[in-house]
Structure formats: structure tokens, C-alpha cells
């Protein structure tokens, strides 16, 4: 049965660890990182149009229509598939932008999977992930929808099964530039590669943390406050800081103490993205 309208989740991710192994000739850094999803994110609604236009109806502060990763993803998929249909798109945006929880990449992946379904393209995951990589290093993991150990610049993915605790995520009100962190001379760039799977316990370091904490007092403050209750970690290049708890009640308790002064949210970690759980229900 063909569908005309579809609403899909677009979850956040966390980097449970992030090691920088070296710098490539093109300036990009070789990483090893462990991605896990959160049961928390945006919601995107797609509706078929009679013409071929691609139109995002929700305005974003500071992101022009054609620069939005949702629009870029839709246009690339339309071009490369030769599809003649268009789409109307609305988003309920709750994920902070530039916080290292991957909202833009997730929105791009949800768009690719949603339009593959609505436009009935029949693309497989490999093809969608390859297109996704041209939009951003973190897009493929959202297309695959499984927690993963990532290598290269994030494109070589191996599924992993880390524990799924509840997380308190603190959102310092500052946007960290990924490019700025990767160009800092003090960044650790020579961490030896992990050669065994699954990633052995104790490898929870994020090599970006010292540089981000030095440059951004707001992030330093969040790390110090959360660090009083649990191991406080940085996701991606920040700004978000997170800690795991064995139950929602415990995460909520710490949240109540900290969110008086800091913005944050509590969400369950998940090894299968809520986007894929919803799509499986549609098939
Ligand atoms: C490092 C991660 C981990 O999840 O950080 P977050 O964005 O999530 O915080 C991501 O892979 C980020 O991927 P993505 O968000 O696509 O990075 P981009 O915007 O393309 O990168 C901006 C700039 O950072 C530098 N960069 C980025 C990724 C990388 N592996 N090496 C780099 O040197 C490059 O100078 C690049 O021009
Ligand atoms: N749909 C989108 N959602 C979020 N950010 C977007 C989107 N489209 C483009 N961007 C741009 O991408 C940047 C990075 O966004 P995001 O993925 O949320 O952060 P991060 O990579 O730190 O997790 C934003 O600051 C914004 O300028």
C-alpha cells in the first residue's frame, strides 16, 4: 500500500568514547569512537507533493533553507535516484544544534530513510549510507541504526552492544566548532588504536575533552558539576556532557539538582535507534 504522509523520529547519539589516532593528508582526523543512540530526539513529518519541489516548512535560526541537512539529503536522494516526486517537510526540533549529539546528521538520515519509503525507491542500506557519508561523517551510523564502533572518519562501522543505561545529558549554552577543536595544536592525535572487539571496558576517554574544557568554561562547569555524581563525559566535540545511571529515578534525582542552573534532559541509551524500531513497525 502506498503511503502519502509519514512522521518519523530522529534520535540523538552519544560518543561513549572518542580516540584520535592521527591526522590524514587531507587534514581530517582518523578516529575510533563508540556510538550509541538515545531514545530522545526530533520528529520529522513528510508529505508527498504533486510537483517535484522539496520544501522544508519549519524555519531554523541561522540555517538557510537550502543549507539545511534535511533539504540537502532530500535533494541528493531525488537527484541520484531520478525520482520525479517532491516532498513537504516539517520538523519538531528539540535537539540542541552544535552540541555533539548529532541532530543534523540524524535529521539527514531520517530524511533519507523516510523518503526511500515514501518515494518507494527500494534503495538498500549500503547505498543510503554511502550517500549519507557525503553529507557528514556521522550520517551513516544513523542510517544503519545500530550502536557501533566507528573507525576512519566514522564511516567504517562495526555493530556493538554496550550497556543501555539512563543518561543525564547537560546542554551548556554554547556551540562548539568542530573545526576549531580539530585544529587546536594541543589536541592529542596519537592515541594507539584499539585492536580488540568489543571495546574493552575502561576505554571511555574522549581525546577532545581537555581542549574543549580549556576553551569553554561553560563545558568545564558542566563536567565539574556532573562529575560530583558520576563519571562525566563529553560527546563528540561537545558541548554536551553526559553521565550514565542504572535507573531513570537516579538520573532524574541528579537532574533535579543540576538543571536549576543548567539545561539538560534524561534519556535512555539504546543500541537500536528508535527510527529503525518505528520503520520496522511500518513494514
Ligand atoms: C568528531 C565527531 C564525532 O561524532 O564530532 P561531532 O560533530 O559529533 O561533535 C564527528 O565525527 C564530526 O563529524 P562532522 O560533524 O561530519 O564533521 P564536519 O562538520 O565535517 O567537520 C568539521 C571540521 O572538523 C575537522 N574534522 C572533522 C572530523 C574528523 N574526523 N576530522 C577532522 O579533522 C575538519 O577540519 C572538518 O572540516
Ligand atoms: N537539520 C539540521 N539540524 C541541526 N543542525 C543543522 C541542520 N542542518 C544544518 N545544520 C547545521 O549543522 C550544524 C551541526 O549540527 P548538529 O548535527 O546538530 O551538531 P553536532 O554535529 O555538534 O552534533 C549546526 O550548527 C547547523 O549549522
Active-site hit among 42, 138, 207, 233: 138
* pLDDT tens digits for range 39-97: 999 999 999 998 999 999 999 999 999 999 999 999 999 999 999 999 999 999 999 99
ipTM metric: 0.95
SS3 content of the chain, % helix, strand, coil (to 5): 30, 30, 40
Cα–Cα distance between 64 and 110 in angstroms, integer? 19
Extract the annotated binding site for ATP.
96-106
Query: Among this protein's residues, is 13 annotated catalytic?
Result: yes
Domains in the chain (CATH in brackets) are 5-160 (3.30.230.10), 166-270 (3.30.70.890)
Looking at all shown ligands, the one closest to residue 236's CA atom is: 1
* pLDDT tens digits for range 205-260: 999 999 999 999 999 999 999 999 999 999 999 999 999 999 999 999 999 999 87
Cα–Cα distance between 192 and 66 in angstroms, integer? 40
Left (φ > 0), alpha (ψ -120 to 50) or beta: where does 79 sit?
alpha
Q: What is the mean pLDDT of residues 97-111?
A: 96
Q: What is the mean pLDDT of residues 134-156?
A: 95
Query: Among this protein's residues, is 268 annotated catalytic?
Result: no
pLDDT of amino acid 1: 55
103 C-alpha vs ligand 2 centroid, how far in Å? 6
Cα–Cα distance between 88 and 144 in angstroms, integer? 24
What lies within 8 Å, CB to CB, of 278 at 6+ separation is 8, 9
Looking at all shown ligands, the one closest to residue 30's CA atom is: 1
Work out the burial of residue 68: count CB atoms within 10 Å of its CB; fewer than 13 is exposed, 13-18 middle, 19 or more buried. Answer: buried
137 C-alpha vs ligand 1 centroid, how far in Å? 7
On average, the pLDDT of the chain sits at 95
Active-site hit among 13, 39, 207, 233: 13
Residue 169 pLDDT exceeds 60: yes
Cα–Cα distance between 219 and 242 in angstroms, integer? 11
- The whole-model pTM stands at 0.96
Amino acid at each position: 500500500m502506498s503511503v502519502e504522509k509519514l512522521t518519523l523520529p530522529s534520535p540523538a547519539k552519544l560518543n561513549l568514547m572518542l580516540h584520535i589516532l592521527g591526522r590524514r593528508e587531507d587534514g581530517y582526523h582518523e578516529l575510533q569512537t563508540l556510538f550509541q543512540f538515545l531514545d530522545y530526539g526530533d520528529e520529522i513529518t513528510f508529505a508527498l507533493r504533486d510537483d517535484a519541489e522539496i520544501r522544508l516548512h519549519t524555519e531554523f535560526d541561522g540555517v538557510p533553507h537550502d543549507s539545511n541537512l534535511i533539504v540537502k539529503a532530500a535533494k541528493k536522494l531525488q537527484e541520484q535516484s531520478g525520482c520525479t516526486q517532491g516532498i513537504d517537510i516539517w520538523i519538531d526540533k528539540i535537539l540542541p544544534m552544535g552540541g555533539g549529539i548529532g541532530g543534523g546528521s540524524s535529521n539527514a538520515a531520517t530524511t533519507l530513510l523516510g523518503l526511500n519509503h515514501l518515494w518507494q525507491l527500494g534503495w538498500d542500506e549500503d547505498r543510503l549510507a554511502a550517500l549519507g557519508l557525503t553529507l557528514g561523517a556521522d550520517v551513516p551510523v544513523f542510517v544503519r541504526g545500530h550502536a557501533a564502533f566507528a573507525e576512519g572518519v566514522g564511516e567504517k562501522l562495526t555493530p556493538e552492544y554496550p550497556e543501555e543505561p539512563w543518561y543525564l545529558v547537560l546542554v551548556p549554552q554554547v556551540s562548539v566548532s568542530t573545526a576549531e577543536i580539530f585544529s587546536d595544536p594541543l589536541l592529542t592525535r596519537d592515541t594507539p588504536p584499539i585492536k580488540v572487539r568489543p571495546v574493552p571496558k575502561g576505554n571511555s576517554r574522549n581525546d577532545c575533552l581537555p581542549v574543549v574544557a580549556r576553551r569553554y568554561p561553560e563545558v568545564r562547569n558542566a563536567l565539574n558539576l556532573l562529575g560530583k555524581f558520576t563519571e562525566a563525559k563529553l560527546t563528540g566535540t561537545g558541548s554536551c556532557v553526559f553521565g550514565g545511571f542504572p535507573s531513570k529515578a537516579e538520573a532524574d534525582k541528579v537532574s533535579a539538582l543540576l538543571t536549576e542552573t543548567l539545561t539538560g534532559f534524561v534519556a535512555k541509551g539504546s543500541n537500536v535507534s528508535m527510527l529503525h524500531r518505528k520503520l520496522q513497525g511500518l513494514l
